Amino acid sequence: MAGIVISGIGIYTPPEAITNEELVDSFNAYVKKFNEEHKNEIEAQKIEPLQESSAEFIAKASGVKNRYVMNKSGILDINRMYPDIPERPNEEMSIQCEMALPAIKEALDNAGKTSEDVDAVIVSCANMQRAYPAISIEIQDALGINGFAFDMLVACSSATFGMQTGIDSIKAGTAECVVMVSPDIMTGHVNFCDRDSHFIFGDACTAVVIEKKDTCKTDTAFEILGSKLQTKFSSNVRNNFGFLNRADESGIGKPDKLFKQNGRKVFKEVVPFVAEHITGHLDELNFKIEDMKRLWLHQANQNMNRLISTKVLGREPEPEETPIILDEYANTVSCGCLIAFKKYQDDFEIGEKGVISSFGAGYSVGSIIVEKIKI
């Protein structure tokens, strides 16, 4: 893997934010309205009444205190309870392309690169707003990049899987410089009427520049020492939305067409899966966990991250060893580990190492081991 580096990273943060308090006020108003409208059915025990939530419950259950979103008004409208994002004419730039461009620009600026230096664009995220033409090709066109582009979906693990694909392209000689970008609008697939999951997600976009060390123009970079992917099928995190939905009208609009999970099983099964993956990857490369200064983990749940870190480290982690950004951003699906990486790398000295790891639906897990080097 020697000779391939991460030379730049960028983040796009949506302009609107929703605090736990705002979300709970809206949700509880919806609950009251729903229970009043269905009073007779509830009294006849045909359906269960909805239960109110609290900001304290959300923070304790997840660590989330705030989230950035592409549209706030629609989510908080108790007569709507989902984002209000109008469709755009084909002649206009798509919203995911619009999110991607500032993140890529920041990443290219960090890397000292221009669009002319890029050979490939990979869009890797949890959800695409259309089937084709590829969002990546639209981004490629908007930036004036030659070469090739394609989309891929791996839910919350999309970042590391996309990075691995970029690494493989460079190793194969089909590209020397790859931009991997993850424009995720997860709020479009959140059930904001569900007490157990309405608070989990936010929107964001991250972009990374991956290239040969020989072409790197920055003074320092993070060399990729190893990358590893792993998958194991599970339906405990699932979204059944797809192009075949129209072929069975009875399922249209059902809750399973949005994000749905069995939280307890996910917690119980994913924690050891991820911990064993990371420790196994380190063993394969003859590294000890003591060699790693930091774990930049997917930002799904504060308690989950703490337990994974404890299993990997063999002790309770210090806050700086496994930084948390989900208190501000919530779960940004594919973007979380790279937001953490971007915001918590400035204190790295030459020769210090860390692990970028994402995990999620599939189940899927990926780990990228990096070392800060002088170019």
Q: What is the pTM of this model?
A: 0.96
Answer whether residue 1 shows pLDDT above 60: no
CA–CA separation, 54 vs 23, rounded Å? 9
Q: pLDDT band for position 69 (50/70/90)?
A: very high
Of 8, 265, 297, 27, give the one whose Cα is nearest residue 307: 297
The residue whose two tokens read 């989230």 is 67
Answer whether residue 2 shows pLDDT above 70: no
How many other CB atoms sit within 10 Å of the CB of residue 225?
17
CA–CA separation, 148 vs 179, rounded Å? 11
Of 361, 343, 356, 360, give the one whose Cα is nearest residue 163: 356
CA–CA separation, 335 vs 146, rounded Å? 25
- Is 356 in contact with 219 (CB distance < 8 Å)? no
- The catalytic site residues sit at 156
Q: pLDDT band for position 96 (50/70/90)?
A: very high
Q: pLDDT band for position 305 (50/70/90)?
A: very high
Answer whether residue 195 shows pLDDT above 70: yes
Averaged over 50-58, what is the pLDDT? 96
Q: What domains sit in the chain, N to C, each tagged with a CATH number? A: 222-374 (3.40.47.10)
- Is 361 in contact with 155 (CB distance < 8 Å)? yes
- The per-residue pLDDT for range 23-40, each reduced to its tens digit, is 999 999 999 999 999 999
Number of H helices and E strands in the chain, helices first, is 11, 13
CA–CA separation, 180 vs 161, rounded Å? 10
Of 15, 28, 14, give the one whose Cα is nearest residue 199: 28
Q: How far is CA 266 from CA 269, 270, 275, in A?
A: 5, 6, 14
Measured CA angle at 318 (ends 317, 323), to 5 deg: 95
Average pLDDT over the chain reads: 97
What spatial distance separates the first Cα and last Cα of the chain, rounded to whole Å?
16
Strand partners, 207: 10, 181
CA–CA separation, 142 vs 363, rounded Å? 34
- Is 186 in contact with 126 (CB distance < 8 Å)? yes
Amino acid 321: pLDDT: 97
Decide: helix, strand or coil at residue 315. Answer: coil
CA–CA separation, 188 vs 64, rounded Å? 18
Averaged over 55-65, what is the pLDDT? 96
Concatenating the DSSP letter of every residue in 58-93 gives HHHHH---EEEES-SHHHH-TTT-S-------TTSP
Answer whether residue 350 shows pLDDT above 70: yes
- Is 333 in contact with 360 (CB distance < 8 Å)? yes
CA–CA separation, 275 vs 279, rounded Å? 6
- The per-residue pLDDT for range 138-170, each reduced to its tens digit, is 999 999 999 999 999 999 999 999 999 999 999
CA–CA separation, 166 vs 164, rounded Å? 5
> In angstroms, how far is CA 16 from the centroid of its own chain?
18
As given in the structure block, the two tokens for residue 121 are 């664009």
